[in-house]
Amino acid sequence: MEYAVLVLNANFEPINVCNLQRALGLMLTEKAALVMNGRGVLHTATTTYPIPSVIRLQNMVHAPRPQVYLSKREILRRDNFTCQYCGKNTPNLTIDHVIPRHLGGKHEWINVVAACPQCNHRKGGRPLAETGMNLLHQPQPPSNSAAYVFARHLNNNLEWEDFLNGW
């Protein structure tokens, strides 16, 4: 059984997600305190421990803000797993450079979109103006907010939402 545990800094800023073993280790060494249980208890031979959902570090740590790195998975997630040319939602999406790389387009957030294989083939290595195709949404970098960064864990941990909003 694998539990994801949200780790908050001393000021309640979400900084990480760890597993149950790491969370219990931080709590037992008194480096972190339980903020929210909600998952029951873990029984050992001599003791009972709460299964944490959210823990808070006792001391403030300098942690860099979580960033969303440019990858195929994150591009598909940003574009909601939808082709940005025809709007089709298919399981075999590809990545397309709006301005093709051989024409000077860079591999960056504002130049890559999710595309179905048919649209990607139809566009080929040509600029949009030559193809007569249009984008549904202009590509932009995704939000750096904690709600977006940790969103993939929210389906199984709805109780985290209050801690993620606003950061």
136: in domain: no
Question: Would you state the pLDDT for residue 149?
Answer: 76
138: in domain: no
124: in domain: yes
Tokens of 5: 């545990």
**86 and 123 in one domain?**
yes
28: in domain: yes
In sequence order, the 6+-apart residues with CB closer than 8 A to the CB of 15 are 7, 8, 9, 61, 63, 66
137: in domain: no
Question: Would you state the pLDDT for residue 167?
Answer: 67
pTM: 0.72
**Along the chain (167 residues), what's the average pLDDT of each consecutive run of 10 residues?**
84 89 92 86 86 91 83 92 93 94 94 95 90 92 80 73 76
**78 and 117 in one domain?**
yes
How many domains does the chain contain in total? 2
Q: 114 lies in which domain range?
A: 72-131
Question: Would you state the pLDDT for residue 160?
Answer: 78
Question: Would you state the pLDDT for residue 87?
Answer: 93
Question: Would you state the pLDDT for residue 10?
Answer: 92
**44 and 29 in one domain?**
yes
**88 and 60 in one domain?**
no
Q: What is the DSSP code (8-state) at residue 111?
A: G
Q: How far apart are CA 103 and CA 110, in angstroms?
A: 15
Q: Are 133 and 121 in contact (CB under 8 A)?
A: no
**103 and 77 in one domain?**
yes
Question: Would you state the pLDDT for residue 109?
Answer: 95
**43 and 12 in one domain?**
yes
